[in-house]
Amino acid sequence: MSSTYKNFIRGQWVAPLNGATFDNRNPANASELIGVFPRSTKADVDAAVDAAAAAWKSWRLVPAPKRAEILFRAAELIAARKEEFARDMTREMGKVLKEARGDVQEAIDMTYYMAGEGRRLFGQTTPAELPDKFAMSTRNPLGVCGLITPWNFPMAIPSWKVMPALVCGNTVVLKPAEDTPLSSVHFVEILEAAGLPPGVVNLVMGTGSDAGAPLSQHSGVSVVSFTGSCEVGNLVASSCASSFRHVHLEMGGKNVLMVMDDGDIDLAVDGALWGGFGTSGQRCTAASRVVVHKKVIGEFTRKFVERASKLRVGDGLEPSVDVGPVINETQLARIQEYVRIGQSEGATLLSGGRRLDTGPQKNGFFLEPTIFGDVAPNMRIAQEEIFGPVVSIIPCNSLDEAIDIGNGVKYGLSAAIYTRDVNRAFRAMRDMHTGIFYVNSSTIGAEVHLPFGGTKSTGNGHREAGTAALDVFSEWKSIYVDYSGKLQKAQGID
C-alpha cells in the first residue's frame, strides 16, 4: 500500500505550498506505486532555508561532542531498521537487496564515524614567533548547507554530506533525487527520532529544476554540495560563483580496470563482473572500461562473456537475482542508444544489449548485461559515461599503453590494476591520475574513513568521507592570544 509523504521543514512534516505531487514507482515493476511525494518549488526551498538559518544560531553553539551524541543515536536507530530500509530502497531504486543492505550499512558506518569526529575536529596549536603569545586554529561551521543527492546511493550519499555538515555545526537543507525520495524520508525520520532540534535538518523533495536549482541559487545557502552529472554540476558551480559561495562537486567517472599479462585472470573477471554490472552499472565508480593485455585478452574475454551471460536479471528483491533494473525508462533508452552507438562505431557486441520486457520483466526497465569487444580508446562508448550495464574491452600491448588509455578520458575517479608484479602495481598507482586506485580489486568499494572523490572533470578538488569531508563543511579560523601586555608586531617589525 502506497502512502503520501511530506517535506520536513522546521521540525514538521508539511505538504508542499502549491499542493503538487509526483508518483514514485518501482523500476522493476512500474505498475507498483511506492508513494506520492511533494513536487516542491522555490517557495518550499525558501521556507526550508529560512528554517535552517534560524536553527543555525543555536545549533552552532551546541558543543560538538553533544552534536555527536545525536549522530551516534541516529546510527543505532538506522542499524535497528537496516533490513526495512534496504527493502524499501530496492523497491524504489532497483539494486539487488544485498547491495541495498550495503548502501544502508555505509550510512551506518558514516554516521558512527562522524559521531567520533565530534570529540576531535582537531585544529592546531603552534609556537608563536613572539614571546608571551599563544597561536592556534579552530574549525568553524559555515551556516546553511544545501545538499543535492543522486538516486544511485539514496542513503549512503546523503549520509556522506549530512553527517559531516551536522557534526561541524551547520544546518542542512537536503534535496534528494526525485527517483528515490523514500530513502531520504527514512533518513530524516531517523534524525528526528534521534533528537535533532527543529530546523537543523530540512528535507525538500521534487525535481532538479523546481527544487534543486532554487536551492543551489539561494543566497542564504553558504555551501552547496552536489553529486550528479557534469552538466548539472557546471550549472551549480556557476550559480555559486557570482556570490563566492562555497561549492563541492562530485560528478562522473569512466573508470578503467587494467588486466596485465601476469594478472590472475579469474580474479580479474570477478572484478570486471562486480565493477561493470553491480548496481546495474549505475555507479560513478563502475568499471565501464577493461583494458586487457593482448597476451591474455582472448582468455579474459571468453571467461568474462561466459560469466556475464549467466547473470540473472530481475527484481532485486528476488534472492536469485544478480542484476536489477535500471532506474527509469529515460535512462534505459539512453543506455540502448549507447549500445547502438557502439555498434555503429565498429565495436563488436559480444554479449547482451537487449531490453528484457517479457514475463516477470515486462513492466520493468531491464537490460541484459552488455559487453563490447574490439573497442578503440577514442570511441564514444569508451569515452562517455553511460551509467548502465555496458562494459568495453580494450586491448593493450604494455603497462604504459594501459596507463595512457586509462588516463585518456576527461574523468579521473577510480582505476584498478590486476598484476602479480609489485613494481607494475606501484607504477600504476603513481601514474594513474585518479582519486581512487585499487590493486587486484575492482574499481568500487570505498571505505568511509578514506577520502572519496576524483580528479579532472570528476570533481572540483574537494573530497567526501574521512576527515577530508570536514574541509567541505567548515572553515579555518587562526587565533592569536597576546598576553605580553604590550603591542608586539609580527615579522620582526620594530
Catalytic residue numbers read 250, 284
| Spatial distance between the Cα atoms of 365 and 173, rounded to a whole number of angstroms | 31
Is residue 45 exposed (0-12), middle (13-18) or buried (19+ Cβ within 10 Å)?
Answer: buried
The CA distance from 459 to 230, in Å, is: 8
Distance of CA 203 to the CA centre of its chain: 18
Q: What is the dihedral of CA 301, 348, 283, 426, to 10 degrees?
A: 50
- State the residue for C-alpha cell 572484478: 271
Q: Where are the alpha helices (DSSP H) in 121-212?
A: 156-167, 181-193
Helices 64-80, 82-93: crossing angle, 10 deg rounding: 70
The one-character DSSP state at 255 is -
CB 206 within 8 A of CB 40: yes
Nearest alpha carbon to residue 38 among 7, 1, 66: 7
| DSSP conformation letters of 259-296 | E-TTS-HHHHHHHHHHHHHGGGG-STT---EEEEETTT
